[in-house]
Amino acid sequence: MTPLLTPQQVRFFHDEGYLIVPDVFPPAELEPLRQAIHGEINRLAREFQADGKLSGLHAELGFDRQVAAIHRDSPGCGEAIVRHIIGLRGGGFYSPEMFDLIMQPALLALIGALVGSDEVVASPYRIRPKLPNFGGGVVPWHQDSGYLAGHCDTHLIITCWVPFVDASAENGCMEILPRAHRGKVAPHHTGGNADFLVIKDEDLPGDPRAAITAACPRGGAVFMTNRTPHCSTPNYSDHIRWSVDLRYKAADVPNNVGIEPAGFDAEGKADAAFYENVNVACYPPEADFVVHSRVHPERVVDYAEYVRMREVYARTQPRFAEVRAWPPLEK
């Protein structure tokens, strides 16, 4: 059983802006999710092969290498698989195994200790396959608050980064700037590498030479605040650096729990009233949902409800291109 966080670990998280816990759960607990993702990859690859877009499945290479080989043979097919697995605004891959990870009791116990509440809400997640020697997987310096609505800047929203393989400097783990999370959210710009947001060097709230390498074994997790500057480095290994970033917050942080589009037009666009209500959320295009509550345990979602909510939001076409308008990067 994973021990609860010590007061020293909780204090370190709030002082430094991050915490690496190497033993959140046994590595074998990730195997069902790895297999589920691998099954989805093979399903998509067979469809591409049947359509004549892909010559070989490369299934023999396994979960850690298959998509990279598909991408070498057909960049279009490889990128389509990656886009599907990542998912946007509720779409993509959401299996029972993914839901089980989000709801993992040991993980939620650590989240509760960090947010200081028994009432916990989960927000959107992203599965991240970083292919070897693929420039699009390099993420520039940013704060996760850059992707969230400005009225949430002073709230704590935890990013929980879980690697599906041992994450190291060689295969492109994160770098983190300690103690740089206490001030305002730095100015961000659109148009960074692979269209990610980016903080210019002169706006970075800290010296990048002080960055720590956030190596983390499979079975562990890296916890960060939404204002912690971090980046993702190149993958120089021979395998994919698979990971997922989950987001959690206390239930008193702005969220859209229980808010759904009241109506859609023929193209799936939501009515105006929906956007007026949903703007209370930190990331309104996707659904928030209760994952732990001592006061109202009946509000904790099950898998069927989780899927229903994500599918509802996936059909909603937001009226805004971005949650937060940042200026473009000067070329």
Rounded-to-10 torsion of CA 313, 314, 316, 321? 110
Asked if residue 64 belongs to a domain, the reply is yes
Predicted local distance difference test score (pLDDT) of residue 175: 98
Verify that 82 and 202 share a domain, yes or no.
no
Of 42, 61, 86, the last residue of a domain is 86
Asked if residue 2 belongs to a domain, the reply is no
Asked if residue 98 belongs to a domain, the reply is yes
Asked if residue 322 belongs to a domain, the reply is no
Verify that 272 and 301 share a domain, yes or no.
yes
Q: How far apart are CA 179 and CA 162, in angstroms?
A: 22
Q: How do residues 96-110 score in pLDDT, each as one tens digit? A: 999 999 999 999 999
Predicted local distance difference test score (pLDDT) of residue 4: 83
Question: How many domains are there within the chain?
Answer: 2
Tokens of 187: 């100015």
SS (HEC) of 297-316:
HHHCCCHHHHHHHHHHHHCC
- Reported in sequence order, the residue ranges of 13-150 that DSSP labels E, i.e. its strands, are 18-21, 120-130, 139-142
* 229 in Cβ contact with 142 (< 8 Å): yes
Report the CATH number at residue 154.
2.60.120.620
Verify that 184 and 201 share a domain, yes or no.
yes
Predicted local distance difference test score (pLDDT) of residue 133: 87
Asked if residue 19 belongs to a domain, the reply is yes
- Reported in sequence order, the residue ranges of the chain that DSSP labels E, i.e. its strands, are 18-21, 120-130, 139-142, 157-163, 174-176, 212-213, 221-224, 230-232, 241-250, 289-292
Q: How far apart are CA 57 and CA 70, in angstroms?
A: 7
Verify that 169 and 41 share a domain, yes or no.
no
Half-sphere exposure of 194 (CA within 13 A, CB side): 14
Q: How far apart are CA 105 and CA 121, in angstroms?
A: 14
Verify that 154 and 46 share a domain, yes or no.
no
Verify that 71 and 211 share a domain, yes or no.
no
Q: How many CB atoms lie within 10 A of CB 62?
A: 12
Verify that 217 and 72 share a domain, yes or no.
no
- Please state the φ and ψ torsions of residue 121, each to the nearest 5 degrees: -115, 140
Low-confidence ranges of the chain (pLDDT < 50): 1-2, 90, 320-321
Asked if residue 224 belongs to a domain, the reply is yes
Verify that 152 and 76 share a domain, yes or no.
no
Verify that 49 and 178 share a domain, yes or no.
no
Give the CA angle between residues 200, 202, 208 to the nearest 5°. 85
* Residue span of the structural domain in which 63 resides: 34-86
Predicted local distance difference test score (pLDDT) of residue 319: 56
Predicted local distance difference test score (pLDDT) of residue 86: 85
Verify that 259 and 158 share a domain, yes or no.
yes
Predicted local distance difference test score (pLDDT) of residue 321: 45
Verify that 171 and 259 share a domain, yes or no.
yes
* 82 in Cβ contact with 242 (< 8 Å): no
Q: How far apart are the first and last CA of the chain?
A: 51
Q: How far apart are CA 276 and CA 270, in angstroms?
A: 11
Q: How far apart are CA 42 and CA 329, in angstroms?
A: 38
Q: Mapping DSSP to helix (H, G, I), strand (E, B) and coil, where does residue 128 land?
A: strand
Predicted local distance difference test score (pLDDT) of residue 43: 95
Verify that 203 and 67 share a domain, yes or no.
no
Of 51, 69, 86, the last residue of a domain is 86
